[in-house]
Structure formats: structure tokens, C-alpha cells
């Protein structure tokens, strides 16, 4: 399964498109029949009654929207009607306008997003040369860098909170597990339930960078097809605190790494006490385990001997990289960043027990 | 008004005329079964809700064109389709998260597809072989010949409840044999639930 997930996915795809043969269909049917999953722990828990009511309310509102669209579906030979010819001409005009706006005045829009969704919103821009704070209706705080623009609604939907960002900003999002918060920027979408993170749009270098301060953040690129703009299937990455992802617009690649100054994770308060990082003859394995926990990072060591090295040091004043530098100096090792992990290499220490 | 709907077939015929009450009655009658089913397949409230909601919305939007013979079967297979789609999304996400580590496979897409099918197929066959005799027979009739519990009970002359027991038991054992295919796919609810 591990190795052949891709193939399995293809099989599933073909099943969903009704392109499987009888044997394949049977295998998937049997497999489906055996699935019996336990509910996730920690998932938002609604009572069944709440689920029933919520679903029905949503259905009711969507039923009528979809009916309206339904009514617009014209009868046969509609294109021969004068009205439709006129409408087509208008649509063409509108399209070319949107086209013009998106390609000529590119910087007023979010790439990959339809213009219309954005223009109805409140536009908060930072024309000053200092950072500017915006508070949204749900209590979320957004700090815009100079030159940045945020499009946001007066009130958010019941289902999700959507904003659009041009430029750079730091987001401190009020927790609301029922209503995810979505930030659309050029080419990518960042989705959270309640956390803080920063988005940097670097058009010159053709990249977008999202870095996480607290909580979990999900980032994915926008689909080419607007209708599926946030639909899944085009992948994405889940980021935890102190991680960042850089999305390269041209190659459409994500690269995950650590933020420049990793901070002690909010919920790991016990690690904030200075004495936590004062070590007297502690084995390296213990020191590294503490660092991993406090900063939410993974640290690997090239050989086991290194883990037996003994550390006596006061690391309470330094940031993560400072701490690592002191450790490495003490045991004659080196560390490097590989994606979002830290690798420590060294010869190990002579047994000095 | 609602009290006058007696059978599912009546409801379906009212539905095709765009009767909202009929639709609501269908919802009231089935939402819970469908939701429970979806929960057991996707394992996450958010996703289960989405699956079930889509099933009903689709039913409403297409009420003029759908031809439904058995409402319950129709709805259950609609949930199946939605649940598989949801699981598919989960796998894609999971694959993406791991793609930084994974090396690019040298196999062609077709070969991978065939291999995946053969692998699953083998696991299923081996699983069936390992079932106790009675369970194996009933499982085959039920899952491969698509016979209902009642039909099997008539064929084998054993009580329907016994047949149901055997099916449930065999499914449980098969679940164990196929577990690699099920929850190695699992990732946290949070990411899977993203829209």
C-alpha cells in the first residue's frame, strides 16, 4: 500500500468515473464494504441533532440557489433567440473586460480568482509606511505590511470566512472550528481554523511564503478551474508551528522548511522556564528531545554515538539555532537544515562516563 | 401533508414534481442512516456531513431527471460514491504531504494501476480463503453474487438473522485482512475536512 498508493488512487479514480471492469469494480466494492472507521478524536463534536439541523438549513439555502441556476437553463435552440445573442455579446464584453483587468491591471486582482467575488468586499489597504492593523467581524486581527491590501466582507458567511490578500500580512485568527478561515493570495489558498501565521507575496521572485506561528495551517494552490478553486485534489501541505512553505509560482512546487527564528510553541509553556534549558551532564538525546518538543521540529542525528555525548551548558538565553550552535561547538558536530528537519552530524564523543 | 406519504415510491413520485415536502420527508426518513453510514466510511464528522449533504442536494437539483426504483438503494450508493470521493481526497492529501520524501516512481501509470488492482485483488482472495467455511460461502454469495440476506437464507435454508450474522462476522474478518488498504490512508480530520 505504501508503495502503491498512486496506483490505488488511479484505480479509485477509474471506479468513480465508472471506467472499471467488473473484476475491478468487485474488488473496490468489497474493499468499501469492509471499511468501518471509528470517529476521530478531537474532531468538532456536534450532536446528531445539531448535524441534522445544520445540514437541513444548509440544504434549504442551497436548494433555492441551485434552483435559480436551474431556471436559467434555456430551452432548445436558445442561441437563435435575439435575447441570447444580445446576452452573448454582453458576456463577451464582460469577459474581455475581466480579461483586460486581470492581465493588464494584474496587480489589482488575485491571480487564479474570479474578479467578481472580490470587488463586493471591503478593501482595507495600507498606504502608510508602517504596519497597519485591521480587525475583522469575527475578532481576527490582521497586520498588513506597507502596500498590502486585504479584501474582506463586513460579515462572514455561516460556513467559512474568506478574505483575499495582496502583498504581505500577519494573521491572528480567532478560533472557530465550525468556520474555517481561508486566505486567497496569488495562486495559493491558506486555510486555518484558528491560528496565527504570516503570508509574504514576493512577485519579483515569483514565490509566496506562508509561515506558521501557532496552530495548524493548510496551504494549497488554486486550481486552474475557478469553479473548483478550493476543491481538493490539487494537493497541498499541512504546516505546524515554526514551519513555513514557499510556493514557487512558475514550477508550482511547494518547499517546506523552518521559519528563520523558530519560537517555543505556545502550548508548550513549561519549556519557557529558563531552567528547562540549563543542562548539567545531560545526554544529548535528552537535550535534543527537549528541543524537538519545545519547537515542534524534528532533529535527527547521523550516528548513535553522538547521542551519548554529554552536555553541560546554559542554553536558556539563545534561540533555537543559537542553542544548536552551542551544542555543536561543545561536541564538535555540525547541524544543517534539510527541508523542515534538522540534521546533526558529528563523530560522537569518547566515553567519559 | 407529510402524513399522507406512505411509501418511498410515493415520495419519489412527488419529488419528481418538485414537491419540497416530499423532499423534506425523504430527508427526515434517511438522513440519520446515511449520516451513520458516511461516518463509518470517512470517520470524520465534517466529511460525513459533506457527503450526506451533497447526496441530498444532488437529489434535489436533479429531481426532474432521476429515475429511482428503490430510494434506499439509490441513497446508499450515492453515499458510497461520495464517501469514496472523500477517501480519494484524503489519499491525495496524504500523498502530497509525503511527496517530499517519496522518490519518483519509475513505473508507468498503467502498470501502477494494474499492480494496485492485483495487489488488492490478491488481498481479497486471500482474505476470503481464510474465512471460516460457512462465512466464506455466505460472503461470496453476498458480495460477489450480490444476493441479499433474504435470498441467501432461502437458498441455504437457514434463518435470515443467521445469514446477517455471518455476513457481519465475515466483514469483520475481512476488515482485518484488508486493513492495510483502509486506514493507512487516514490522516487527521482537520486536513481532510478542508472543504
DSSP assignment of A191-239: EESS-EEEEEEETTTTEEEEEEEES-EEEEEPPSSGGGTT-SSS--EEE
Stretch A166-180: mean pLDDT:
84
Say whether B97 and A238 touch across the interface (CB within 8 A): yes
pLDDT tens digits for range A132-142:
888 888 888 88
Distance from CA of B18 to the nearest CA of A (A): 10
pLDDT tens digits for range B37-61:
999 888 888 889 999 999 999 999 8
Stretch A72-97: mean pLDDT:
54
Q: Which of A39, A230, A256 sits opposite B195 (nearest CB)?
A: A230
Q: Which of B186, B189, B194 sits opposite A218 (nearest CB)?
A: B194
Q: What ipTM score was computed for the predicted complex, to two decimals?
A: 0.81
The mean-pLDDT minimum among A159-163, A192-196, B131-135 falls in: A192-196
- Residue B141 gets which letter from DSSP? I
Size of the A and B interface in Cβ pairs below 8 Å: 200
B143 part of contact set with chain A, CB < 8 Å: yes
Greatest mean pLDDT among A191-195, B8-12, B27-31: B27-31
Say whether B46 and A43 touch across the interface (CB within 8 A): yes
Q: Which residues of B41-51 are buried (b: 16+ CB within 10 A; e: fewer)?
A: bbbbbbbbbbb
Distance from CA of B157 to the nearest CA of A (A): 25
The mean-pLDDT minimum among A55-59, B81-85, B95-99 falls in: B95-99
pLDDT tens digits for range B110-122:
676 677 788 888 8
Name the residue with cell 566515553. Answer: A351
User: pLDDT at residue A338 above 70?
Assistant: yes
The packing angle between helices A5-16 and B71-98, to 10°, is 150
B158 part of contact set with chain A, CB < 8 Å: no
pLDDT in the model for residue B32: 93
Is-contact B11 B5, C-beta < 8 A? Answer: yes
Is-contact A76 A127, C-beta < 8 A? Answer: no
A168's CB contacts (< 8 A; 6+ apart) are: A144, A145, A148, A198, A199, A200, A201
Say whether A216 and B195 touch across the interface (CB within 8 A): no
B124 part of contact set with chain A, CB < 8 Å: yes
CA distances from A284 to A310, A328, A332, A338 (A): 6, 10, 13, 20
Stretch B112-139: mean pLDDT:
85
Closest Cα in chain B to A2: B184
Say whether B92 and A44 touch across the interface (CB within 8 A): no
The DSSP-derived string for A148-188 is -EEEE-SS--SS-EEEEEES-EEEEPPP-TTS-EEEEETTE
Helices (H), chain A: 5-16, 22-34, 48-72, 82-103, 115-119, 284-295, 304-307, 320-331
User: pLDDT at residue A69 above 50?
Assistant: no
Mutate to test the interface with B, among A33, A223, A252 (most CBs of B within 10 A): A33
Q: What percent of chain A has pLDDT over 70?
A: 75
Nearest to A235 by CA among A214, A257, A256, A212: A256
Confidence of residue B3 (pLDDT cuts 50, 70, 90): very low
Q: What percent of chain B has pLDDT over 90?
A: 24
Is-contact A279 A313, C-beta < 8 A? Answer: yes
User: pLDDT at residue A224 above 70?
Assistant: no
User: pLDDT at residue A257 above 70?
Assistant: yes
Say whether A8 and B181 touch across the interface (CB within 8 A): yes
Q: Which of B43, B80, B174 sits opposite A40 (nearest CB)?
A: B43
User: pLDDT at residue A193 above 60?
Assistant: yes
Stretch A158-168: mean pLDDT:
86
Closest Cα in chain B to A34: B175
* Secondary structure element (H or E) that encloses residue B88, with its range: helix B71-98
Nearest to B79 by CA among A67, A32, A43, A54: A32
pLDDT in the model for residue A73: 41
User: pLDDT at residue A97 above 80?
Assistant: no
Amino acid at each position: 500500500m505504501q508503495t502503491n498508493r498512486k496506483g490505488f488512487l488511479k484505480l479509485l479514480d477509474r471506479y468513480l468515473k465508472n471506467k472499471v471492469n467488473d473484476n475491478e469494480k468487485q474488488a473496490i466494492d468489497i474493499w468499501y464494504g469492509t471499511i468501518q472507521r471509528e470517529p476521530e478524536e478531537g474532531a468538532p463534536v456536534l450532536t446528531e441533532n445539531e448535524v441534522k439541523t445544520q445540514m437541513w438549513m444548509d440544504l434549504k439555502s442551497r436548494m433555492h440557489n441551485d434552483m435559480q441556476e436551474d431556471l436559467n437553463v434555456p430551452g432548445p435552440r436558445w442561441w437563435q433567440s435575439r435575447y441570447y445573442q444580445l446576452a452573448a455579446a454582453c458576456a463577451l464584453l464582460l469577459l474581455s473586460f475581466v480579461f483586460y483587468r486581470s492581465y493588464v491591471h494584474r496587480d489589482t486582482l488575485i491571480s487564479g480568482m474570479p474578479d467578481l467575488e472580490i470587488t463586493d468586499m471591503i478593501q482595507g489597504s495600507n498606504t502608510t509606511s508602517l504596519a497597519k492593523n485591521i480587525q475583522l467581524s469575527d475578532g481576527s486581527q490582521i497586520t498588513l505590511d506597507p502596500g498590502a491590501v486585504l479584501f474582506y466582507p463586513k460579515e462572514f458567511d455561516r460556513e467559512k470566512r474568506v478574505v483575499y490578500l495582496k502583498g504581505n500580512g500577519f494573521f491572528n485568527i480567532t478560533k472557530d472550528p465550525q468556520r474555517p478561515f481561508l486566505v486567497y493570495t496569488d495562486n495559493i489558498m491558506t486555510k486555518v481554523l484558528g491560528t496565527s501565521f504570516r503570508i509574504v507575496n514576493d512577485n519579483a521572485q515569483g514565490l509566496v511564503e506562508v509561515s506558521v506561528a501557532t496552530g495548524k495551517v493548510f496551504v494549497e494552490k488554486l486550481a486552474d478551474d475557478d469553479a473548483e478553486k478550493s476543491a481538493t485534489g490539487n494537493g497541498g501541505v499541512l504546516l505546524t508551528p515554526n514551519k513555513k512553505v514557499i510556493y514557487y509560482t512558475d514550477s508550482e512546487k511547494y518547499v517546506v522548511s523552518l521559519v528563520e527564528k523558530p519560537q517555543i510553541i505556545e502550548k508548550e509553556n513549561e519549556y519557557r522556564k529558563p531552567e528547562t534549558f540549563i543542562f548539567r551532564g545531560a545526554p544529548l538525546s535528552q537535550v535534543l528531545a527537549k528541543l524537538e518538543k519545545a519547537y515542534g521540529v524534528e532533529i535527527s542525528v547521523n550516528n548513535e554515538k553522538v547521542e551519548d555525548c554529554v552536555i553541560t551548558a546554559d542554553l536558556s538565553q539563545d534561540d533555537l539555532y543559537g542553542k544548536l550552535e552551542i551544542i555543536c561547538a561543545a561536541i564538535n558536530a555540525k547541524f544543517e537544515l534539510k527541508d523542515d528537519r534538522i540534521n546533526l552530524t558529528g563523530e560522537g564523543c569518547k566515553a567519559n562516563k | 401533508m407529510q402524513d399522507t406519504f406512505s411509501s418511498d415510491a410515493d415520495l419519489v413520485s412527488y419529488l419528481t414534481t418538485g414537491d419540497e415536502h416530499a423532499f423534506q420527508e425523504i430527508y427526515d426518513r434517511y438522513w440519520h442512516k446515511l449520516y451513520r453510514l458516511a461516518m463509518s466510511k470517512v470517520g470524520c464528522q465534517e466529511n460525513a456531513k459533506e457527503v450526506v449533504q451533497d447526496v441530498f442536494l444532488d437529489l434535489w437539483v436533479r429531481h426532474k431527471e432521476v429515475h429511482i426504483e428503490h430510494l434506499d438503494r439509490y441513497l446508499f450508493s450515492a453515499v458510497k460514491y461520495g464517501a469514496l470521493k472523500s477517501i480519494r481526497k484524503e489519499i491525495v492529501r496524504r500523498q502530497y504531504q509525503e511527496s517530499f520524501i517519496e522518490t519518483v516512481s519509475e513505473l508507468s501509470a498503467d502498470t501502477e494501476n494494474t499492480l494496485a488492482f492485483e495487489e488488492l485483488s490478491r488481498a481479497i482472495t486471500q482474505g476470503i480463503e481464510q474465512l471460516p467455511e460457512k462465512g466464506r460461502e455466505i460472503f461470496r454469495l453476498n458480495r460477489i453474487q450480490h444476493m441479499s440476506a433474504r435470498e441467501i437464507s432461502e437458498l441455504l435454508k437457514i434463518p435470515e438473522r443467521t445469514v446477517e450474522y455471518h455476513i457481519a462476522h465475515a466483514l469483520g474478518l475481512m476488515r482485518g485482512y484488508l486493513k492495510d488498504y483502509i486506514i493507512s490512508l487516514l490522516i487527521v480530520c482537520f486536513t481532510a475536512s478542508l472543504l
